[in-house]
Amino acid sequence: MGGVLNAAAFAAASLLIENLLTDEFLIQLHGAVGPGKLALTGTLSIAGVVLGSIVLAIFPRSIRFNRTKAILDAPRAGLIADLAPTAPNPPAPASAPDLNMSEPRRASKDLGGYGRDGVEDLEGRYVCFRPMFSNPAVINAYEIMIRWDERRACLIFEERNRPDSIHSQIGPVYVPDGRPFMNL
């Protein structure tokens, strides 16, 4: 379906290009105006199908790759975290079950079910630019800090240095699986 829609977009672009080209140019290329326009539209439509198919074939594969990589990396990340020398308690004897070796905590499903290893690159300081509600011609700029909260096992955002500080917010971050955006 994506390839067909892309072909339609390319065909529409070819019609625009046809109107910009002179008849003399099309006659020089194909000997006549009609076959020249048909060749141009056909060629660009085929290119649209091919490019649309390639994009659709690669895009879902990259999403599957990222999900598989996250699944494969999760146990390894948990092992590394559990073996870190900064652990506050000494390791338990081999015969006793180790309660610290459990799977790393994950955000709840209503926040996207993400683990810290999957969202570490989102942690940091950001600058938010948005128009003021009272006067859209004035730009309001302030800092947003995103960090992992161990107690809640999720990313937390905090608005800082807002000119209208009475409206500052703090709360959890929703990161949907396989989507290129997050919600504060």
**Which pLDDT tens digit goes with each residue over 14-46?**
778 777 777 787 777 777 777 777 777 778 778
Q: At what angle do helices 33-82 and 23-30 cross, to 10 degrees?
A: 80
Query: pLDDT value at position 102?
Result: 53
CB neighbourhood size of 172 (10 A): 19
Query: pLDDT value at position 171?
Result: 93
Query: pLDDT value at position 181?
Result: 83
Query: pLDDT value at position 75?
Result: 44
First CA to last CA distance, the chain? 34
Query: pLDDT value at position 1?
Result: 66
Query: pLDDT value at position 35?
Result: 79
Q: pTM for this one?
A: 0.43
Query: pLDDT value at position 96?
Result: 44
Q: What is the mean pLDDT of each run of 10 residues along the chain (184 residues)?
A: 72 78 76 77 78 66 51 42 38 45 74 90 91 86 93 93 86 87 87
